Amino acid sequence: MRIVVTGIGIVSPLGNTVKTFWENLTAGRSGIRTIDTFDPTDYPAKIAGIAEDVSPHNMDNKEQRRHCRCTVFAVEAANQAVAQAGVELDREDPYRCGVMIGSGIAGIDTIYDNCVKHDHGGPRRVSPLMIPTGITNAASGYVAQAHGYMGPNKVIVTACATGSHCIGDAADAIRLGKADVMLAGGTESTIIPFAIAGFGAMRALSTGRNDEPEKASRPFDLDRDGFVMGEGAAVLVLESDEHAKARGAEILGEIVMLGESCDAYHIAAPREDGSGPAAAMKQALTLGKLNPEDIGYFNAHGTSTKLNDASETQALKAVFGTQMPPVSSTKSMHGHLLGAAGAVEGAACLLAIEHGVLPPNINYETPDPECDVNIIANEAREAKIAFAMSNSLGFGGHNASIVFGRYD
């Protein structure tokens, strides 16, 4: 059974439609800017990839205020994807339509706000909605409610590998016969003081280019100094090719296979030799019955941190050797969307296959000898490709590598 994509929806620092996102991505535009949603004066990192507000047609203003920002993002992205796919619930069995939309730190804004209210006003100030809207499955559950999808609904939380794992497991749910249609992806919104302070305390964030935000995220560049937080969501509509063709849907691409592994090494740092990601990449190729040379584009996890980019380079070398495909990290433009990263970057892979254009890795100015990858430096590249691979590597050693393909 082949699992195909028939709809894509995106909310991101590069735009809140697939068209705008793709135009900005291939033009090499940065969506990173100075934080203006709160005063960042006292914070070492003062920049982020901030998505513009959205207003889903199926959430009124009151409903939007009740939910976390990441849930609103997920609903909007799902709406876009379903509209493009043309899925009509009255022609489907709702118990065979499911949702898997994960998040790394879902509800952190709601939980933080209620903590402040509790500390200043006591227990009576805590909202009765804090738990149901702040838990990690809130977005996936609400998207199902909004669309009437009563099939498999679960959330996978693997930090920055979440989006890719959700897509891979949703594809497996269809392969196993549990569903006909799945909405899959990731959503995240963590541009709040509490989260910026937490990641800042880890010394994970870029702090050296607060005065020129668009140049701060520079994966694989010698002068990188940390990642830039981003926010947004991406949702894909998945179904079997038989189901898609039976209802006359346009097929945008194929989910070939997900590979996964764990570093089992450290709570945050990756293994320096890249053996964990390499194992996930090799598994994806083996299960997908592909050879390394079949991959025409590689969307790297590429966070712009010293450790990640160097270890991922070792993984790429271990898998591809001297036949490394063109590589870019689109985080150079939209920042690191944490649990939504794999979904947004998976969408970028599908669009690269569809349009025959490989997104650039901007801000690549000074090559790093430890990161000698086949970089798509600063400008997009035209190339007709059949397969693209994306890495998502999460804190805790969670590794996901997913292959997307052209559907012929």
The catalytic residues are 160, 301, 336
Residues across the chain: 408
Query: 136, 155 in Cβ contact below 8 A?
Result: yes
Sequence-distant (6+) residues with CB within 8 A of 262 are 276, 396, 397, 398, 399
Residue 102: φ, ψ to 5° = -100, 175
Quick one: tokens of 152? 């498999």
76: three-class secondary structure by DSSP: helix
Query: 334, 344 in Cβ contact below 8 A?
Result: yes
Rounded distance, CA 101 to CA 156, Å?
8
User: CA–CA distance from 326 to each of 6, 386, 389 (Å)?
Assistant: 26, 13, 11
Rounded distance, CA 12 to CA 234, Å?
8
**Selection from 33, 26, 30, 31 nearest residue 13 by Cα:** 31
In which region does residue 45 sit, left (phi positive, over 0), alpha (psi from -120 to 50) or beta (all else)? Answer: beta
